[in-house]
């Protein structure tokens, strides 16, 4: 496509140089530059992409998009824009042929529950024979082909490329997470959103957004996008206080639907029953009531299921069929994932709770299963929101009988200092500090007795531990399974030894 045609989509660009240049890709990293690429200079948190324009050109980039005017001399194709991140979204969309136009786009935002709801929606849409892609924290599925994610919501050029692959692979829909970073940084700009879903808003990412209000404003952008689509649907958790603000803002929008456990929701769950193997509840909708069963644990998964069901319905799936299909919902990797066999004496769950509210919800769910004792292993990530650390400790001890505070991904920080930050939130004394995460998990499992539940929170599906920028292989689920098997073996051996001793003693009598 010619640069001239491509930039027609931008708002008042100031272009110079040869505009008939052929453009085949949009990039924002000079190290990936080559012929056919338009390099978009982004002002970053660490460096300024404008400082890499020369490098991009030397590497063969065909054109530049920048927030600065071109140097006086030179004939480089150059497009001067007001906001290069926003421009990048539009350019990436057009270069990829606007794939979202050919897909039903269900996008989920909120502090917690995005991944789970996206997985559930993906399941329901596939079940309704709407071949569906999935983009989020755990996996990118572009229609049968799986990829390891770089971000929860990737940068615009990658995002548009993935959507295009979905279209090429015959997908008709996509279930995607819209992170607040992505919304703030215009990674989704230009994407046509058919259904915007709001799960909840609680404290996280204040290092990036500064205040809860700004964090909320970032999330709200997804709803402006859906509201701009004449067929757009807005699906909101009306039990959440921030959700109610969304409801208020869009109360006159005909695509607005709500869900929750509260009395006035469009989709409402009542009488939930929580068991080790799943949850049942009655689902009320327009005076009808259906019995729903999900193989997922905890009240928060009732919310995630309601969100997915309401969205699938809004996107045209048969409601009754979807409710039935929820019985076969997939286990979301690392979200209250049980690693112990059904008949085991105590149970171990691996969960991704890494916010105060996430921890509270995960542990409340475990409590709902009525354990003898609840043993929690958790830590806080480095180089991220520091304010949440003591709040996570507070949340952990609220429901736990024993808390083992350990290291999560310390990244470039000292794990001892992160733990000290968190420790300030403990009001009681029933906690232990063990920096080595494997040792912490081992201590919890060794100490667990029949009837107990161990929750290992924070890293869920992550297969690594990020220490000083190096990702060391580390998987809570694999480690917990291995340690449980070891305990079973040791206990078995001890029982055998005791029996042999008894037999010997009896033989001696
Ligand atoms: C806070 C944040 O989101 N940062 C994003 C931001 O990085 P940055 O502002 O620090 O960029 P920078 O390193 O200063 O570089 C500025 C520009 O110079 C360019 N550059 C740099 C060096 C060079 O040699 N050549 C060159 O062209 C870079 O490619 C970039 O375009 O822009 C980068 C490129 O556009 C992103 O990759 C990066 O995501 C980083 C990796 C990240 O960790 N983001 C996380 C926090 C994130 O986005 N998380 C959310 C999920 C959050 C949730 O759980 O809800 C997500 O969607 O994944
Ligand atoms: N609806 C919910 N409300 C509150 N907590 C939830 C909800 N759903 C999940 N959680 C908790 O939050 C954790 C993260 O869930 P999930 O991965 O689905 O959310 P997410 O929004 O995608 O998170 P992230 O932004 O980190 O990717 C879960 O492991 C669980 O402990
Ligand atoms: N999406 C989350 C992941 C946190 C996972 C946790 N294990 C940590 O490292 O803090 C974030 O970027 O804050
Ligand atoms: Mg996620």
pLDDT tens digit sequence for 330-350: 999 999 999 999 889 999 999
Give the DSSP per-residue string, 69-85: PPPSS----EEE-S-HH
**Any residues with CB less than 8 A from the CB of 316 and at least 6 apart, and which?**
104, 128, 130
Q: Residue holding tokens 């005017």?
A: 69
H or E stretch at 498: helix 476-508
Is residue 7 scored above 90 in pLDDT? yes
Q: pLDDT at position 496, please?
A: 87
Q: How far is the CA of 406 from the centre of ligand 3 (A)?
A: 15
The rounded distance, in Å, linking the Cα atoms of 148 and 137 is: 9
368 labeled part of a ligand binding site: no
Confidence of residue 419 (pLDDT cuts 50, 70, 90): very high
Residue 452 has pLDDT above 80, yes or no: yes
Please write the tens of the pLDDT for every residue from 80-104: 999 999 999 999 999 999 999 999 9
Residue from 279, 269, 209, 193 nearest 238 by CA: 269
The pLDDT of residue 72 is 82
Number of alpha carbons in the 13 Å side-chain half-sphere of residue 92: 29
Ligand 3, atom nearest to 462 Cα: 7
Which of 184, 132, 189 lies closest to 157 in space, CA to CA? 189
Q: What pLDDT band is residue 74 in, cutting at 50, 70 and 90?
A: confident
Domains and CATH numbers, the chain: 3-95 (3.40.1390.10), 98-327 (3.40.1190.10), 337-491 (3.90.190.20)
**φ and ψ of 413, to 5 deg:** -95, 165
The ipTM assigned to this model is 0.95
Q: What is the pLDDT of residue 509?
A: 65
The number of beta carbons lying within 10 Å of the beta carbon of residue 387 is 12
Identify the residue whose tokens are 């009896």: 506
Q: Name which of 190, 187, 236, 182 is nearest 209 in CA terms.
A: 182
pLDDT band at 508 (very low <50, low <70, confident <90, very high): low
Residues β-bridged to residue 275: 278
For residue range 193-205, list pLDDT tens digits in order.
999 999 999 888 8
Sign of CA dihedral 76, 77, 82, 85: negative
Buried b (16+ CB within 10 A) or exposed e, 458-491: bbbbbeebbbeeeeeebbbbebbbbbbeebeeee
Surrounding ion ligand 4 within 5 Å at CB are: 114-115, 137, 152
Question: Is 115 annotated as belonging to a binding site?
Answer: yes
Q: Tell how far the Cα of 409 is from the centroid of ligand 1, in angstroms.
A: 18
Kindly state if the Cβ of 44 falls inside 6 Å of ligand 1: yes
pLDDT in tens, 384-393: 999 999 999 9
């Amino acid at each position: 496509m010619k640069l001239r045609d491509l930039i027609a989509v931008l708002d008042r660009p100031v272009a110079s140089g040869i505009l008939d240049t052929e453009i085949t890709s949009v990039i924002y990293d000079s190290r990936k530059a080559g012929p056919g690429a338009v390099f978009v200079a982004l002002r970053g948190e660490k460096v300024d992409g404008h400082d890499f324009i020369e490098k991009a050109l030397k590497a063969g980039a065909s054109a530049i998009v920048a927030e600065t005017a071109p140097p006086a001399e030179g004939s480089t194709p150059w497009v001067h824009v007001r906001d290069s991140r926003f421009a990048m979204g539009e350019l990436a969309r057009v270069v990829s042929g606007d794939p979202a136009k050919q897909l039903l786009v269900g996008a989920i935002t909120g502090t917690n529950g995005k991944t789970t709801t996206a997985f559930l929606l993906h399941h329901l849409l596939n079940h309704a024979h709407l071949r569906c892609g999935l983009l989020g924290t755990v996996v990118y599925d572009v229609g049968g082909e799986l990829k390891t994610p770089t971000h929860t919501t990737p940068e615009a050029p990658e995002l548009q490329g993935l959507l295009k692959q979905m279209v090429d692979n015959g997908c008709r829909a996509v279930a995607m997470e819209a992170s607040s970073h992505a919304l703030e940084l215009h990674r989704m700009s230009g994407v046509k959103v058919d259904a915007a879903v709001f799960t909840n808003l609680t404290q996280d990412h204040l290092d990036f957004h500064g205040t809860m209000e700004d964090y909320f404003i970032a999330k709200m952008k997804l709803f402006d996008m859906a509201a701009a689509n004449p067929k757009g649907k807005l699906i909101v958790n009306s039990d959440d206080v921030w959700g109610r603000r969304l409801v208020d803002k869009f109360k006159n929008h005909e695509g607005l639907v709500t869900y929750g456990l509260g009395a006035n929701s469009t989709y409402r769950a009542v009488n939930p029953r929580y068991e080790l193997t799943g949850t049942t509840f009655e689902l009320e909708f327009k005076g009808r009531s259906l019995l729903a069963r999900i193989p997922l644990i905890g009240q928060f998964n009732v919310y995630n299921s309601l969100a997915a069901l309401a969205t699938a319905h809004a996107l045209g799936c048969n409601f009754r069929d979807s409710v039935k299909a929820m019985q076969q919902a997939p286990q979301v990797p690392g979200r209250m994932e049980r690693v112990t066999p059904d008949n085991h004496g105590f149970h171990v769950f691996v969960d991704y709770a890494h916010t105060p509210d996430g921890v509270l919800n995960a542990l409340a769910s475990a409590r709902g299963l009525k354990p003898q004792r609840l043993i929690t292993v958790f830590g806080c990530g480095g180089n991220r929101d520091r304010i949440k650390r003591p709040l996570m400790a507070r949340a952990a001890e609220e429901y736990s009988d024993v808390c083992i505070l350990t290291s999560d991904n310390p990244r470039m920080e000292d794990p001892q200092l992160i733990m000290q930050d968190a420790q300030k939130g403990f009001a009681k004394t029933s906690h232990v500090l063990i920096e080595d995460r494997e040792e912490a998990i081992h201590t919890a499992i060794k100490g667990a007795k029949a009837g107990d539940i161990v929750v290992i929170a924070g890293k869920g599906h992550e297969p690594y531990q990020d220490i000083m920028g190096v990702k060391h292989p580390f998987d809570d689920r694999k480690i917990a399974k291995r340690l449980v098997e070891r305990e079973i073996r040791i206990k078995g051996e001890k029982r055998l030894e005791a029996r042999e001793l008894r037999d010997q003693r009896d033989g001696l009598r």
